[in-house]
Amino acid sequence: MSQSTAPIVEFRGASKRFKAKNSDVKAVDNVSLSINAGEIFGVIGYSGAGKSTLVRMINALEPASSGTVIVDGHDLSTLGEPGLRTLRQEIGMIFQQFNLLQSRTVARNVEYPLEVAGVAKQERKRRVAELLEFVGLSDKAKSFPSQLSGGQKQRVGIARALATNPKILLADESTSALDPETTRDVLELLAKVNRERGITIVVITHEMDVVKHICDRVAVMELGKVVEEGTVFQVFSHPEHPATKKFVSTAIKDKPDPETLARLRGRHTERLITVFVHEDGGYGRRITDVLHDHNVRGGIVYGGISEIKQRPFGSLTWGLEGTDADIAAVIAELSQYTQVVDLGTSANPLDGFGYDIFTQEGEPADYVDHYAQAENQDSANPFSRFFGGKKK
Amino acid sequence: MITFQGGLAAATDWSQMGPKLIEELGTTLYMVGASLLIGGLLGLAMGLALYLTRRGNLFENAFVFNLLNVIVNFIRPIPFIIFITAMGPITQALTGTILGPKPAIVAMSVMTMMAFSRLVEQNLVSLDPGVIEASRAMGASRWRVIRTVIIPEALGPLILGFTFLFIGVVDMSAMAGAVGAGGLGDLALRWGYQRMNWEITFVTLLVIVAIVQAAQFLGNWLARRVMRR
């Protein structure tokens, strides 16, 4: 959806420190990041990772302690308070708790930023009507926020954030207080805002599903640092950092986790392999063709395929019956198209995912990848048990 | 002038006491009204200042906050009957006298201001900081945030707090009556209590209860109107 690649927001070695009792806390630590005009950019991290602070550095609600933040060509540190106020009118923001004024009606809430911007009354009324129409709440104009559902409140929040025709919309955990169905509606609305109005959206979230649903690119934050950044497809298909892997696994449950794998081995004594599916190889049809060619019988025992940015993504775990030589040939041929993980048989299991739960000596799996590399970089990481295969 | 020979039997001459009661009611309303107006406005300002200079708020300023905090904490615990006498020199300088309603209004306004500043501060502290952040994010200046967010959002509770204050101010006015300010307190004390005329005491009491009830009713009604959400 990127209409242009010019960065509209740029962090250059930006940090934000807060004074704590004994030492400073670095909420945002030396972050360099570019957000392109017209894209939906996700920032994902656990609570306390610094993502909320990071997003507030864009509208200078939290000014950077050091480094530079450039928004729409302005170095924020050179703008005084009046300059910042003007800039903020070009940056809409929506919040987890909606933050609507309880003492104002829906229409008057949407009108508020227009009052701040000094828009004439006639024009304000016209804009408010148009915005409420856009978010589908025209009939609630005279209601008070307390009379609305969570999803409706967030729609009012979005209408309010769009009132001044901003170039950027900051969404701070905007769906975290909503149920799954309402979340989907609100995300669709955000996608529509991006599509129809060309507004750059920065989405802060701790839910990978949100990223998967609407983002073009994503940055993963941990302890104030951006630990990984890339297109959503890249990050989902080749997560590098343990934190990223953890997030990806929450959104796509296709690979068997250790407990599931143990149950699979109990049910299926045959050879198990996991074949990754993405659009540049590993289609189901191709797998069955290869099996057929090598005289191997196989059935799917676990897995799932979903879409990320309209591209198929996932993995399938197969139970294969055939001679060792034939199966080895199958694996070799499939490996030319996609990633294949050999899990062995229940009698002779292989630690293909690097779960590291096997006690017996065995030839390490031929599954060599970045998981292991990331593990070597950060062996103290708690996620390594699931993702960072230690090779024996 | 009516003189009592001491004793409960003495009948009250309401043709004389009626106008007296009305007059003292007027004095009380004058003292209470003026103190609520002056003390209320100053208390609102001071409460806002306490809230705004708090850590993490719009005009964070530890020095100002601590100074105001100490002033309020210093004056508020002083029993009003002592406070009003201690204010003598100041009221003398301001109004030229220490007798009558005007000097009482000085002391009552100060105490009202202190009490209201705490009520205002407490109500504002419980305000959702999210709405303030949201309006800042929309480019509102700090003064606009105070005018269009902080006060309107807290208006209902502020009106209720102010109504609650009314009772305290009537209470103060009665004590002021004991030290020469006049008003219903004076009437109940000198004409009722000291002459053991229970009739006057109870009539005065009923009038005071009626005023407070009316004020409470008005306050509740106003608060409900602004809080229709």
pLDDT in tens, chain A (392 residues): 444 567 999 999 999 998 877 777 889 999 999 999 999 999 999 888 899 999 999 999 999 999 999 999 899 989 888 899 999 999 999 999 999 999 999 999 999 999 999 999 999 999 999 999 999 999 999 999 999 999 999 999 999 999 999 999 999 999 988 888 899 999 999 999 999 999 999 999 998 889 988 999 999 999 999 999 999 988 888 888 888 888 887 777 778 888 888 888 888 888 999 888 877 655 667 788 888 899 999 888 998 887 777 778 888 899 999 888 899 999 988 888 888 888 888 888 887 776 654 433 333 333 333 333 333 444 344 443 344 333 33
Residue from A103, A115, A148, A156 to probe the interface with B (highest B Cβ count within 10 Å):
A103
Question: Could A164 and B138 be called an inter-chain contact, meaning their C-beta atoms sit closer than 8 Å?
Answer: yes
Domain tally for chain B?
1
Nearest CA in chain A to B152: A103
As a whole number of angstroms, the distance between CA A211 and CA A40 comes to 9
- DSSP 8-state assignment for residue B48: H
Report yes or no on B59 lying in a domain.
yes
Q: Do the beta carbons of residue A384 and residue A242 sit within 8 Å?
A: yes
CA distance to partner chain A, nearest, from residue B69 (Å): 23
Q: Range of B63's domain?
A: 18-226
Residues of A in contact with B133 (CB under 8 A): 61, 95, 99
Describe the crossing of helices A242-251 and A370-377 by its angle, rounded to 10 degrees. 130
Residues of B in contact with A61 (CB under 8 A): 133, 136-137
Chain centroid, CA B2 distance in Å? 34
As a whole number of angstroms, the distance between CA B163 and CA B123 comes to 14
The CATH number covering residue B218 comes to 1.10.3720.10
Residues of B in contact with A84 (CB under 8 A): 139
Residues of A in contact with B153 (CB under 8 A): 101-103
Report yes or no on B8 lying in a domain.
no
Structure tokens at B7: 């004793």
Question: Could B229 and A103 be called an inter-chain contact, meaning their C-beta atoms sit closer than 8 Å?
Answer: yes
Report yes or no on B9 lying in a domain.
no
A7-251 folds as Rossmann fold (3.40.50)
CA distance to partner chain A, nearest, from residue B155 (Å): 9
* This model's pTM is above 0.90: no
DSSP assignment of A359-384: -S--PPPS--SHHHHHHHH-TT-TTH
Q: What is the Cβ-side half-sphere exposure of residue B104, based on CA atoms within 13 angstroms?
A: 30
Report yes or no on B141 lying in a domain.
yes
pLDDT in tens, B54-73: 988 999 999 999 999 999 99
Report yes or no on B149 lying in a domain.
yes
As a whole number of angstroms, the distance between CA A89 and CA A98 comes to 18
Q: Do the beta carbons of residue B183 and residue B31 sit within 8 Å?
A: yes
* CATH annotation of A258-387: 3.30.70.260
As a whole number of angstroms, the distance between CA A200 and CA B115 comes to 49
Would you list the domain boundaries of chain A? 7-251, 258-387
